[in-house]
Structure 1
């Protein structure tokens, strides 16, 4: 601010001789706008001029200093009040903006407004309007009247600090249309559980839980502070992370991993080594000496050569079972949506064929996995599923899991083939038939009971009331939907294998940090190297496993819910209920 008012000047002294030179110098100074100050030859007058100029400079400096001090105090006072003033202006502006949306009733000299409100808030709104009428001493009371309309209402879900983060996850995909099934109800459980399947380590889960517990215990204080973008996101989703941590502790106990180290928490292992080399051999070097380990993975599997193939098979099949179960849940929710909106076409020609197609193939695969686990069969499920399509009539031989399996597979294969045209053809033709019947019924509506005004209204409905029905567009849309579901049934099931891949990656990274950093540093028998190893291990665990792996598993769980689960039933083409609220104005300001 000071630089704006400062003007730089050059001071120079001119010596001349004669009046002629003096006149020329004066003209030059006038031309360039220079200020002229005569300098007397008398020494006494020179000292007097110097004293006068010095006094004026001192007065000017004092004036400037006082002005700057006054300006600083004034700006400081404004700075304290600026945020409050800004909020008041926003409130005033929002009030006038809302009033501008009301219409003026000239006859009754009042304002009329229409808006949405939750059903449970009717009595509360009436009480507030009555109290406002009394407080303002208004001569006319506020009238609250419920209107009937065919407009699509906004969507409003009552949530609290625990459920709001899950609702935000769903709303980021799309806001549910009015009275559509809300995926957030199921996401509260399925989202942290699928995350935990990929992040299964109860040591890491405890670390994540303790970090989240800090946010929860100090949430009142932290909610009033500015934490930065990343910390603000973590603080906003603290209850989601807490559930993710608790589920991770549970799955970590199932995997029997604590920073990749197994523990005999639920009893002794069921196996014992036959000799000293059994840990480097396959399970043939282990001898079962007691009952099966009661909960989770037997700790003796850790470190054997068969550990990775065993866990690969277990987690891969487990991922398929979870994926098929969640996709079936999504299709079931599409049934309830269709029943609620009384869309029988979607029930008959979308829900039923989709259930048949998905479960004839991947539901059957899930059944084979469970049967194989229960019977201990050595059948090759890859061979069974491949030759179910290539050679359905061939004998299964040693890959047969139960009697009559070949005929059941032929029946399921035919059911899946029938389900595809079932999804494709009937719905477009029935929509066309419904449109023609509706159009014919309105075109030949009885006119003898109508007066002139109603006749004009009915004629307008017949000519403009319906959009053009393009059968080709409807058929192409149904074709795309059918192809998307058929191909998606395969790709979505395969997509759930990310549960297995991320779980394996997390386990192997944790094992590498433990064995190649911590145990390696311990083996040197040197305190400095051990301290360095512990620091590197902690930094790698926090930076890679507790931050990067958490974010990676979170994003993969998010994708599984948005794409594989919600696309089975969730349209998400609604809009949010946005009430007038001073509290929301304050939040927007922050």
Structure 2
């Protein structure tokens, strides 16, 4: 979302200053804004590093492309493409080794090309991110011994997500769509019926070793575990599983589309940076007047610092936080455990000591 290695270097310098003065600033009383920056100094450091990396991919340094990794793969056939960059270009060498070819900047098809590239990158990153979340749910289920969750949630979820949004769907879409249709009832029906059967066998005194399922598969919410004598509520379990299946199926579409914010915000940042560079700095530099040039430079510096580095950074951080909390963590985090209590010496009782 913040792909400009010039802006990323500015953020990196700011983060390094905060980290270098960590011991001094931690003992001072800071304002609300500085306290927020100081508290997120390491987050700012990571954001700046990823901004530099994405900026190298987009080949943008304060919206200006550079031939960092060699010459462009294209050149003009003759003098006809001096002004119109897309006329008369011929490919003369291998593709640009890393990032966007600098020749795309200023061409007539620049926006269409960047739109397509950033949109596809956003979807690919989103699918990888959500797959990682589903994989973490597998380790959760294995840790707690819930083999039913592995067989009837993790496996169909992986099939459904990758069948609809995986790269292979472009090649064998018919087979993968059929797998997606199979995955939906797979995720919905088996688990409630198996739980009902195991619950019945448990209270009949028989061993329930079906499907090599451990006792953890029969875990119920905390409130229900205290009342094992109550009758097994099959309808409640079935409705809960149905809600979970419908939520995942519909959410997989909306969650994938939600990653398009990476595309939209990175494009907005690039276009804003280009506007400030071309319509403010270059326009002022075109006048043979020192005052106008200094004024243009001041406006450009102000816009870069307060709009691109502060507002855009905060926007990118909030959107990234939202993607981690909603699209990523809803694949494995449920929040139905015990309340988190941070360790503190002040809260220790005499008995604990």
TM-score, L = length of structure 2: 0.88
Rate the CA distance shift 1:562–1:466 in 2: closer, same or farther, 3 A.
farther
The residue number in structure 1 matching 2:51 is 248
CA distance in 2, matches of 1:201, 1:348: 44
Distance in 2, matches of 1:367 and 1:341, equals 33
**Equivalent position of 1:547 in the other structure:** 310
Residue 417 of structure 1 corresponds to which residue in structure 2? 181
CA shift in 2, pair 1:495/1:277, >3 Å: farther
What does residue 340 of structure 1 align with? Answer: 143
Shift of 1:502: 0.8
Q: Distance in 2 between matches of 1:243 and 1:360?
A: 33
Aligned positions, number: 329
- Does 2:101 match 1:298? yes
Matched with 2:272 is: 509
Query: How far off its partner does 1:359 sit?
Result: 1.0
User: 1:116 is matched with which residue?
Assistant: none
For residue 544 of structure 1, give the secondary structure of its aligned residue in structure 2: helix
Q: Partners of 2:262 and 2:82 in 1: how far apart?
A: 28
Q: Displacement, 1:468?
A: 4.7
- The answer on whether the counterparts of 1:270 and 1:290 sit within 8 Å (CA) in structure 2 is yes
Deviations 1:500-526 (A, max 9, x none): 111101000000000000011111211
Aligned-partner SS, 1:272: strand
Residue deviations 1:171-209, cap 9 Å, x none? xxxxxxxxxxxxxxxxxxxxxxxxxxx101000000001
Residue 260, structure 1, aligned to residue 63, structure 2: yes
| Distance change >3 Å, CA 579–CA 269, structure 1 → 2 | closer
Deviations 1:516-560 (A, max 9, x none): 000111112111111111111111111111011001111111111
The corresponding residue for 2:155 is: 352
Cα distance in 2 for residues equivalent to 1:550 and 1:279: 36
Compared CA separation, residues 576 and 304, structure 1 to 2 (3 A): same
Q: Give, in whole Å, the separation in 1 of the partners of 2:319 and 2:91.
A: 38
Q: Distance in 2 between matches of 1:221 and 1:583?
A: 28
Q: Following superposition of structure 1 onto structure 2, how do residues 71-150 of structure 1 map, counting pairs within 5 Å?
A: none
- 1:471 correspondence with 2:274: no
Structure 1 residue aligned with 2:209: none
Query: Quick one: distance in 1 between partners of 2:82 and 2:27?
Result: 55
Deviations 1:107-144 (A, max 9, x none): xxxxxxxxxxxxxxxxxxxxxxxxxxxxxxxxxxxxxx
Q: Which residue of 1 aligns with 2:27?
A: 224
Contact 1:282–1:306 (Cα < 8 Å) also in 2: no
Aligned residues: CA RMSD: 2.1
Alignment of 1:185-584 (within 5 A): 198-276=1-79, 278=81, 281=84, 283-363=86-166, 366-367=167-168, 405=171, 408-441=172-205, 464-573=227-336, 574-582=338-346
Q: Distance in 1 between matches of 2:10 and 2:284?
A: 23
CA contact under 8 A between 1:279 and 1:304: conserved in structure 2?
no
CA contact (8 A) 2:163 2:180 kept: yes
Give the 3 Å change call, closer, same or farther, for CA 499–579 of structure 1 in structure 2. Answer: closer
Any stretches of 5+ residues in structure 1 without a counterpart? 1-197, 369-383, 385-404, 443-462, 585-590
Partners of 2:93 and 2:342 lie apart in 1 by 63
Distance of 1:351 and 1:330 partners within structure 2: 10
Q: Distance in 2 between matches of 1:534 and 1:431?
A: 69
For structure 2, which runs of at least 5 residues remain unmatched after alignment?
207-225, 349-353
Deviation at 1:464, TM superposition (A): 4.9
Cα contact 2:73–2:93 (8 A) shared by 1 = yes
- Asked if the contact 1:320–1:493 (Cα under 8 Å) also holds between the matched residues in 2, the reply is yes
Within 5 Å, which residues of 2 pair with 1:35-74? none
Instruction: Supply the distance in 2 between the matched residues of 1:259 and 1:515 (Cα, whole angstroms).
Output: 11
Structure 1 residue 333, shift from structure 2 partner:
1.0
Q: Is the CA contact 2:184–2:245 (under 8 Å) kept in the aligned structure 1?
A: yes
How much does 1:240 deviate?
1.1
Distance 2:180 2:83 in 1: 46
Q: For the structure 1 residues 279 and 367, does the alpha-carbon distance in structure 2 shift closer, same or farther, using more than 3 Å as the test?
A: farther
Contact 2:85–2:106 (8 Å) recurs in 1: no
Q: Aligned partners of 1:299 and 1:583: how far apart in 2?
A: 59
The residue matched to 1:326 in structure 2 has which SS?
Answer: helix
